[in-house]
């Protein structure tokens, strides 16, 4: 999950910058707004990695063919990341994947598109809040609401469960959100005060930190799914599950 998310992030940023450059009054503020958002979410060294990547990507002009290739690479990595999350949540919910290839394909494409749309909406709301000089707490509120919605959407449609209700996804989404925020603060503290990985990884310390952050974040998602599964089993609401994973 972390590997494919890592592969998808930078091509997706390049696509976003290329699109934003053609939107009036957005291109000039897009890079600084993204950098500010990353500095709030990621550890310092990871934020610097994104700042450098944004600076390099923003100066690249893409032809129509190159833009199509970048989009294809970003979609390939994003679809694989979503498939990995579906596989992991099926394990967490103790079910096997029984959907047809086209049902699974629609699910993967839909969840990936929902993630992209959710991120874009959240980002532009944060950008609007910055332009209006709104309090920083409002930006965090938008971010938390967006992440919570995405977690609930993921738990509702990713695992192969029939008649899975929205309210059954709420506890795990809340748990994953709390774990995600706590893990972010813990990672910041560890990298700032314990080990910044510079001795072991040198100039690649930002990459190693980002992979570890993605690993922990995806772990929070799986723990939230496991929590939903255990709550559903305790409540006796798993009678319609397709089939247990065999030993």
Residue 166 CB-density burial (10 A; 0-12 exposed, 13-18 middle, 19+ buried): exposed
Confidence of residue 241 (pLDDT cuts 50, 70, 90): very low
Which 3 state secondary structure label does DSSP give 222?
Answer: helix
User: 18: closest CA among 78, 60, 56?
Assistant: 60
Confidence of residue 28 (pLDDT cuts 50, 70, 90): low
> What residues contact residue 5 under an 8 Å CB cut-off, 6+ apart?
77, 81, 214, 218
Confidence of residue 27 (pLDDT cuts 50, 70, 90): low
> Is 8 in contact with 81 (CB distance < 8 Å)?
yes
Instruction: Tell whether the model's pLDDT for residue 164 goes beyond 70.
Output: no
User: Rounded to whole angstroms, how far apart are CA atoms 8 and 28?
Assistant: 24
CA dihedral for 7, 210, 45, 118, sign (positive or negative): positive
pTM over 0.85: no
Among 21-30, 112-121, 193-202, the range with the most confident prediction by mean pLDDT is 112-121
Q: How far is CA 36 from the centre of its chain?
A: 17
Q: How much is the average pLDDT of 101-115?
A: 93
């Amino acid at each position: 999950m972390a590997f494919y998310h890592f592969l998808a992030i930078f091509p997706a940023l390049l696509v976003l910058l290329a699109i934003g450059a053609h939107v009036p009054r957005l291109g000039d503020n897009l890079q600084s707004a993204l950098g500010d958002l990353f500095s709030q979410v990621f550890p310092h060294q990871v934020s610097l990695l994104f700042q450098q990547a944004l600076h390099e990507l923003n100066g690249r002009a893409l032809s129509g063919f190159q833009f199509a290739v970048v989009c294809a690479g970003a979609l390939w990595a994003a679809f694989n990341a979503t498939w990995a999350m579906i596989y992991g949540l099926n394990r967490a919910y103790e079910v096997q994947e029984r959907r047809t290839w086209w049902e699974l394909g629609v699910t993967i494409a839909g969840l990936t598109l929902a993630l992209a749309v959710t991120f874009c909406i959240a980002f532009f709301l944060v950008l609007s809040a910055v332009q209006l000089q709104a309090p920083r707490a409002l930006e965090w509120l938008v971010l938390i609401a967006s992440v919570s919605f995405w977690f609930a959407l993921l738990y509702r449609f990713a695992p192969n469960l029939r008649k899975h209700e929205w309210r059954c996804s709420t506890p795990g989404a809340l748990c994953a959100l709390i774990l995600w925020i706590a893990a972010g603060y813990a990672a910041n503290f560890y990298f700032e005060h314990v080990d910044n990985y510079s001795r072991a990884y040198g100039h690649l310390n930002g990459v190693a930190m980002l992979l570890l952050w993605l690993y922990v974040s995806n772990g929070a998602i799986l723990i939230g799914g496991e929590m939903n599964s255990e709550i559903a089993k305790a409540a006796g609401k798993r009678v319609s599950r397709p089939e247990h994973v065999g030993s």
